[in-house]
């Protein structure tokens, strides 16, 4: 480390600042702070109060992003996140995900039916 290098290192290369986590996951620091508020992410704090994340936080953030993309809310994600990270279903705790999947399947079916109705209407209009 040179005299102009002001980074504080703990000797642990797997410890990430919020900026480093943001950079690795392409998730804004603001979103990462929101994840912390929602108990989806739990950083350690330095003596100065700075957030520090372990290397596993990268996978956790990416999983949270996938679950948001799947249409789940933070309150739906929080209870299933520990189970998904441990890769086992603890006494049916993935039931919420299964239920969400079933609701999506029903919604997709309704949308498909709607699209077919619109296709029929368009075909009838084009014939006249």
Instruction: Tell me how far CA of residue 60 lies from CA of 10, 14, 21, 30, 120, in angstroms.
Output: 22, 14, 11, 16, 45
In whole angstroms, give the CA distance from residue 111 to residue 34: 32
CB count in 10 Å sphere of residue 75? 10
Mean pLDDT of the chain: 86
| Phi (first) and psi of residue 94, to 5 degrees | -90, 5
pTM for the full predicted model: 0.71
Q: What is the pLDDT of residues 98-116, one digit of tens each?
A: 888 999 999 999 999 999 9
Instruction: Calculate what percentage of the chain has a pLDDT beyond 70.
Output: 84
In whole angstroms, give the CA distance from residue 58 to residue 56: 5
Q: Flag whether pLDDT at 87 surpasses 70.
A: no
């Amino acid at each position: 480390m040179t005299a102009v290098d002001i980074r504080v290192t703990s000797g642990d290369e797997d410890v990430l600042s919020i900026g480093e986590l943001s950079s690795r996951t392409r998730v804004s620091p603001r979103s990462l702070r929101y994840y912390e508020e929602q108990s989806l992410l739990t950083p350690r704090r330095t003596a100065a109060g700075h957030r520090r994340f372990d290397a596993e936080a990268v996978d956790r953030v990416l999983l949270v992003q996938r679950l948001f993309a799947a249409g789940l809310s933070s309150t739906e994600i929080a209870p299933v996140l520990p189970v998904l990270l441990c890769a086992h279903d603890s006494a049916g705790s993935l039931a919420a995900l299964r239920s969400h999947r079933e609701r999506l399947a029903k919604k997709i079916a309704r949308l498909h039916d709607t699209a077919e109705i619109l296709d029929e209407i368009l075909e009838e209009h084009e014939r006249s």
